[in-house]
Amino acid sequence: MTSLNEQMPPASGAAGAAGVAAKDAVKGRRVRRFSADLSAAGEPALWGFGGALALGIILIAGFLMMVLYNGATTFWPKPIDRVELTDGTVIAGVERRGTIFRPDMPRLTDEQRAVVEENDGFAYRTLYQTANFDLYGDDFQWVADFETATVTQPEDFYYFERQVWGVFVGRIAGLQVAGQQMDYDAATFRREQEAARERFREIRRIERSEIGRLNNLIERERLNQRRAVLRQGEEAAAAEIAASQERIAELQAEFQVLQARVNEIRAVDRSYRVTLEEVGGRTIEPEMSQIVRYFPANTVGVLDKLGIYFSRWWEFVSTEPREANTQGGVLPAIFGTVAMTLLMVVFVAPFGVITALYLREYAKQGRVTSIVRISVNNLAGVPSIVYGVFGLGFFAYTMGGTIDQLFYPESLPNPTFGKGGILWASLTLALLTVPVVIVATEEALAAVPRSMREGSLACGASKWQTIRYVVLPKALPGIMTGMILAMARGAGEVAPLMLVGVVKLAPALPIDAFYPFIHLDRSFMHLGFHIFDVGFQSRNSEAGKPMVFVTTLLLLTLIVAMNATAIIVRNRLKRKYATGQF
């Protein structure tokens, strides 16, 4: 005899599934609603992509925070410590940083060895900026904690920033005013030091402006003489050479007057000195004009520290570097970076846009066009140093050498354009970034609806009129995006610039007050190369480390500012030419 369940037909379809689910629910079983696994749903890939994005953001944010912190705190005044060691030695300096290290045990005394063994063989040491390079031959000294007896901060210690020899740490022992020795008086020293700095600036102004103008005119007359000899012959150009010699004699007379004035100011300046004493008692007597800035590091107040902080920033962005680029400012590097980037944009914009226009609007789409596009894309992956070698060989040596032979034969064998300069550097970076502009411009042109072209042609406009008045305005925001990417890459490149014009310290800016005013043949400074030079080429890496961070912060700020300006222009163009969809 069969049961009732066995006699009933099996449930089918939705009713059957619902019955089974209800039956499982009654029994407390866990219901699995989806048979597909997680890999089929794509969730592991989503987690991986999200994790990679989060990791990238964390790394970028960490790098920016490190640069911002170290760069923003570089110019903040710090106290001076007087450190007495266990062996009786006394040093004075500004604490830079500390680290844990494992000391060489056999060289330690019994007491020091006992202290280190208590810490499992490790010890802590502090790096002090002792400065006084002209006396010590070094700027920094490590001091371990087991070597330290006492640390104090005397109120009479001053921090001096000098024009040469870097920083001096010590006391003011006396003054020499107009050749007369006297005891230190704060008000007198402040007044005389400011007057001495005015004399220093006056000497620099005369040497760079007035004497520089005379030297420029004398050099031009000398080149005119040689040009006349090359074109006319020595006998035919005798009269012209004689007249030029007279002008040179007049200019040299003016030069002697100005030089005598400079010598007179320097003679007065040498009679105003300050006697500085380091912690060990040794003294030096620099001229007051060589003291760029000074302050009592252990007694200066918060408001005074703010004043020193902002004055250092102003000096950094408005003056020239000194002490092997580890102190002073970076104005020539700022000027060179901005000028080179703007020149690069001027060169890369027409070439990139014209090439993209031809490939997208005029060229017959086929195998040749595809090969050209592939080649352009491959150029974006060529190492930048290869562009530097090409720029040096083609632009500087070939084109520049030809220009020198045709237009500047009187200057040979000294090259004018046949060497690295800001013009060739800009052209080299334009070649490096032109693939980015071509690709971005092509994509912007392709995004313009075809119906807009057809409507313009149907109204009777020519193909060029359609491109000029319809397609290009609509594609301008995309073209500006390519320019922004090109500026961001070109402004930070260093490797090719090392071959085609960038230098450690440029004697003159590419733009000055001397005819022809714009000198595209001159070498220039660059913030990226400045970072490399200070970080890896300075005599003391510790002395240059703060300048690396602050220059990096400035370079990033400069790139962001230029890109932000371009983005604002792009957004305005986008709003101006915004139209409905066809």
How many whole angstroms separate alpha carbon 540 and alpha carbon 324?
A: 10
How many whole angstroms separate alpha carbon 188 and alpha carbon 196?
A: 12
Whether residue 413 has a cis bond before it, omega within 30° of 0: yes
Cα torsion 430, 436, 438, 440: sign: negative
Three-state secondary-structure class, residue 92: strand
What are 176's strand-pairing partners? 181, 273
> If we measure between CA atoms, which residue out of 449, 443, 438 comes closest to residue 471?
449
CB burial of residue 148 (10 Å; 0-12, 13-18, 19+):
middle
- The pLDDT value recorded for residue 578 is 66
Sheet holding 148-152, edge to edge: 140-144, 123-129, 90-101, 81-85, 148-152
For tokens 């009713």, the residue is: 15
Contacts of 414-421 spanning 24+ positions with Cβ under 8 A: 416/521, 417/521, 419/501, 419/521, 419/523, 420/392, 420/396, 420/499, 420/500, 420/501, 420/502, 420/523, 421/396, 421/500, 421/501, 421/520, 421/521, 421/522, 421/523, 421/524
For tokens 């704060």, the residue is: 186
> If we measure between CA atoms, which residue out of 484, 83, 66 comes closest to residue 279?
83
Q: Note the Cα 373 to chain centre separation in Å.
A: 33
CB 534 within 8 A of CB 55: no
How many whole angstroms separate alpha carbon 484 and alpha carbon 480?
A: 6
How many whole angstroms separate alpha carbon 179 and alpha carbon 361?
A: 80
Contacts of 35-44 spanning 24+ positions with Cβ under 8 A: none
CB 381 within 8 A of CB 404: no
- The pLDDT value recorded for residue 91 is 94
- The pLDDT value recorded for residue 566 is 83
- The pLDDT value recorded for residue 87 is 87
Query: Tens digit of pLDDT per residue, the chain (582 long)?
Result: 444 444 444 444 444 544 544 454 444 445 455 445 655 666 777 888 888 999 999 999 999 999 999 999 999 999 999 999 988 899 999 998 889 988 888 888 888 888 888 888 889 999 999 999 999 988 899 999 989 999 999 999 999 999 999 899 999 999 999 889 999 999 999 999 999 999 999 999 999 999 999 999 999 999 999 998 888 888 888 888 999 999 999 999 999 999 999 999 999 999 999 999 999 999 999 999 999 999 999 999 999 999 999 999 999 999 999 888 888 899 999 999 999 999 999 999 999 999 999 998 888 888 888 888 888 888 888 889 999 999 999 999 999 999 999 999 988 888 999 999 999 999 999 999 999 999 999 999 988 888 888 898 889 888 899 998 889 888 888 888 888 888 888 888 888 999 998 998 887 888 887 777 888 999 999 999 999 988 887 777 788 888 999 999 999 998 888 888 888 888 887 787 765 444
> If we measure between CA atoms, which residue out of 475, 469, 482, 468 comes closest to residue 449?
475
DSSP string across 520-544:
TTS-B--HHHHHHHHHHTSS-HHHH
> Could you count the other beta carbons within 10 Å of the beta carbon of residue 433?
26
Any idea which fold 331-576 has? MetI-like fold (1.10.3720)
How many whole angstroms separate alpha carbon 53 and alpha carbon 68?
A: 22
How many whole angstroms separate alpha carbon 457 and alpha carbon 466?
A: 7
CB 274 within 8 A of CB 291: yes
φ, ψ of residue 447 in degrees (nearest 5): -80, -15
Q: Note the Cα 423 to chain centre separation in Å.
A: 19
Q: How wide is the angle at C-alpha 74 spanned by C-alphas 152 and 157, nearest 5°?
A: 30
End-to-end CA distance of the chain: 78
Tally helices (H) and strands (E) across the chain.
21, 13
Extract the tokens encoding 472: 């290009």
How many whole angstroms separate alpha carbon 500 and alpha carbon 391?
A: 7
Extract the tokens encoding 106: 């056999």
- The pLDDT value recorded for residue 12 is 47
In order of 48, 56, 488, 496, 542, the CA distances from 555 in angstroms are 33, 21, 11, 18, 21
Listed in sequence order, the residues at least 6 apart from 453 whose beta carbon sits closer than 8 Å to its beta carbon are: 466, 470, 471
What pTM did the predictor assign?
0.84
> If we measure between CA atoms, which residue out of 507, 544, 343, 357 comes closest to residue 426?
343
Whether residue 516 has a cis bond before it, omega within 30° of 0: yes
pLDDT tens for 422-438 read 999 999 999 999 999 99
How many whole angstroms separate alpha carbon 367 and alpha carbon 346?
A: 31
Question: Residues of 232-243 as b/e, b for ≥16 C-beta within 10 angstroms?
Answer: eeeeebeeebee
Beta strands in 48-108 (DSSP E): 81-85, 90-101
pLDDT tens for 184-219 read 999 999 999 999 999 999 999 999 999 999 999 999
DSSP string across 228-245:
HHHHH-TTTTHHHHHHHH
